[in-house]
Structure 1
Amino acid sequence: MVLLSWFKLLGGPGRPPEILCLGRHICCPAVPLATLPACALFVSQASPHWLSLLCLFSCSYSSSQLEVNGLGRPLPSAQVGTLSRMAVKLELPGDIYYDALESYMLTAQLTELMRWQQAVIPAALSLTARNDIFRYARTLLRPELYQLFSRYSEQYSRLVPCPMPAVLPPPDDLASERPSLAEQHAWMHLQTGGGSLWEAVRQTVALLDFEAPRQVMMKQHRQARSFHLGVCARGPLIGICKATPLHHNVCRLLTFLVKHVHPEHRFTSLAVNVNHFTPPHKDTQNGPQHNLIISLSQQDHGGLWVEDPQGKIYLEHQGELRRGEHFSLLDHALVFPAHRNLHASYPERSAPLASELDRFTLIAYTVRNWASLRAPMRTRLQAVGFDLPEDDGPSQSSLPPMLLPTVLI
């Protein structure tokens, strides 16, 4: 099992350098520093007073030991099975994992160097593509620090594998004469048919026209924004989110990512949320199907707390302490019963990329009463990549079907 960790060495005249952990282990966040073998590889260094390095090492724990301590690798999506009452971590596909790892490591390196020279860190770095990270570095860093950053990137590229990228689905025709920038960008990536799916999704999401959040509990969060695609529910009414007809290629790209991460997942809707830091709540407008959440941004405060009767982390809800577990979302996706279990954002403000960067998450979920949607609209949603659940019988709505038209919401 290969682990990657991010460290800084600080030293001074007459004393050896000290190792200070700057972040979490990508695969096993809680493996103690003492387990590092002597063969750890230092791959980037600057001066005797400032060293930045990437350690690649083999974990000395067995798989069973890691499972006992709650540190095992996430499950492959095919093994999720019938774990319906708990949150399940999903292992990311190789191409997504290593692309996400590279962008995280480069972002962490850049932000640490910017702190070193006391520069302001742009919040947009959390969703920045690899080439744009270098553009920021070249613009914002002093020449000697930019050389250090470039050297680190070169050595990282030689040491970390680069899996084959996924083959993207074909694009759909642009729906209007003046498509949005995000729709144009998604069409361009799908037209090429290859390249990094991770970068294509993140670049497209950065161009979306976000709105203020719809949830009442988010009204006071001025920095929170959201973008919705697919089926939408407003009380008993079921319709299509207004952005869906104008963003067929965005739908194709985002739904392809969802199915690439978890091919068995069924969903009617997508939400891209920005800076949604929510208190404990349940998604009461959802159907019984689980939510799938993927963190798209490169920061450490993208974690999620999910209620679990056997959990070890307590959060207060309506005057009571509720047990649950925390999931960082840094190196895995998460499937959980959002309609049944309380869940909440779980900021980690002490983490290295905690406070400066925006938090972007992609959620694939199913709204309740979605079966009231008319057949032509179901067909259109399936054509742009939505894997709808099986129709499990009549709608649970108290209104007759003729009063549930397909509306744009």
Structure 2
Amino acid sequence: MQDVALEERLLLNAYRQLLGEAAAAACPPALVMASRNDLVSYACRTLPEAEQRVLLDYADSLARRFSSTGIERYPLPLRCAEKPTEAEDRAHAHLLEGSGSLWVALRDVIVALDFGADGRPIAEGHVFYLGSYCKGGAVGVCRHTRYHGNVCRLLNAALQAICPDFAWSTLAVSLNNGVKVHTDRWNASAPCLLVGCSHHDGGELWIEQPGGVACLEHEGTQLFGTALPTSAMVVMFSGKEQRHANLPWSNGDRFVLIAFQTGHLASLRPAERRMLLDFGICSALAVAMAQ
């Protein structure tokens, strides 16, 4: 997946350079989620003929360089509902293919999710949750989960390909979500895995660390930490124990997938456990049951 993402980023950078700074600033925000083929197609529609030839030559050279990019095997699809959501329909279609690029499929599906406003006081943006939730004394399954079994299976497969030993119970896909300094108090004491899915600029994940050189002001106090890139990058951190936030971004939409464990998984109802395990999303529960 890393090579596929790198090829996209290099093509996007080349396209922006050929456009010139002023025109590049007016690119559609969604272009940061375009696949390699979609980028080439869009460039051919919007660049003058001479610049088109330059970009196509560069695209050919990148194709030769990344010719060994692997095709991953997909999990089996689940039966689709009679009237699936667009994201579920896309995920089902990808899984029916049997194999392909998990990175391309992942990004094609998450742009179609029906995002809602993030209601947390520390957030300003949109989010879509799948898997388990834990808030106060309440434990259960996020409401969108049962309608997105194929989305769950596809995202689960991508995460397993990225970090095979990682265990999680919940997925949060965020869109242009500015999040202030906080900790995730209802998470389990386990790491979070952040996967940057877009080719945005900036938007780093800030994590508090003693001696860090990246400073943030929070409630009148200077906090020191580290700013880690999130544009098509993977970051592991402790959401429960480390204060964190995200920094401003530019040049496109910012899509981020975060996998984590909620607390009190043992309190899930048997039917909820079966659904999460069947959807492949609750690997933390599978690990716990195997012990």
C-alpha distance in 2 between matches for 1:325 and 1:166: 33
For the residue of structure 1 that corresponds to 2:202, the secondary structure is coil
C-alpha distance in 2 between matches for 1:214 and 1:264: 31
C-alpha distance in 1 between matches for 2:175 and 2:104: 17
User: What does residue 111 of structure 1 align with?
Assistant: 16
User: What does residue 137 of structure 1 align with?
Assistant: 43
Q: Establish whether residue 286 from structure 1 lines up as the match of residue 187 from structure 2.
A: yes
User: What does residue 136 of structure 2 align with?
Assistant: 235
C-alpha distance in 2 between matches for 1:307 and 1:116: 34
Aligned pairs (5 A) from 1:385-400: 385-386=280-281, 387-389=283-285
Aligned pairs (5 A) from 1:200-215: 200-215=105-120
Aligned pairs (5 A) from 1:35-74: none
Q: Establish whether residue 369 from structure 1 lines up as the match of residue 264 from structure 2.
A: yes
Structure 2 residue aligned with 1:147, among 45, 53, 63?
53
Structure 1 residue aligned with 2:158, among 257, 265, 283?
257
5+ residue gaps, structure 1, are: 1-95, 348-353, 393-409
User: What does residue 85 of structure 2 align with?
Assistant: 180
For the residue of structure 2 that corresponds to 1:239, the secondary structure is strand
Aligned pairs (5 A) from 1:325-364: 325-330=226-231, 332-347=233-248, 355-364=250-259
User: What does residue 226 of structure 1 align with?
Assistant: 127
Do the aligned partners of 1:114 and 1:121 also contact (CA within 8 Å) in 2? Answer: no
Do the aligned partners of 1:295 and 1:333 also contact (CA within 8 Å) in 2? Answer: yes
Aligned residue identity for 1:365 = F
Shift of the alpha carbon at 1:280? 1.4
Alpha-carbon RMSD across the aligned residues, in angstroms, is 1.8
Q: What is the percentage of aligned positions where both structures have the same residue?
A: 32
Shift of the alpha carbon at 1:115? 3.1
Moved over 4 A (4+): 389-392
Larger RCO (CA within 8 A; separation ≥ 6): 2
5+ residue gaps, structure 2, are: none
C-alpha distance in 1 between matches for 2:3 and 2:82: 37
Are residues 332 and 118 of structure 1, via their aligned partners in 2, closer, same or farther at CA, if it must alter by over 3 Å?
closer
Do the aligned partners of 2:139 and 2:268 also contact (CA within 8 Å) in 1? Answer: yes
Are residues 162 and 214 of structure 1, via their aligned partners in 2, closer, same or farther at CA, if it must alter by over 3 Å?
farther
Who wins on radius of gyration, i.e. which is larger? Answer: 1
TM-score, length of structure 1 as denominator length: 0.66
C-alpha distance in 2 between matches for 1:179 and 1:266: 28
Are residues 164 and 391 of structure 1, via their aligned partners in 2, closer, same or farther at CA, if it must alter by over 3 Å?
closer
Are residues 211 and 155 of structure 1, via their aligned partners in 2, closer, same or farther at CA, if it must alter by over 3 Å?
same
User: What does residue 51 of structure 1 align with?
Assistant: none
Aligned pairs (5 A) from 1:151-170: 151-170=57-76
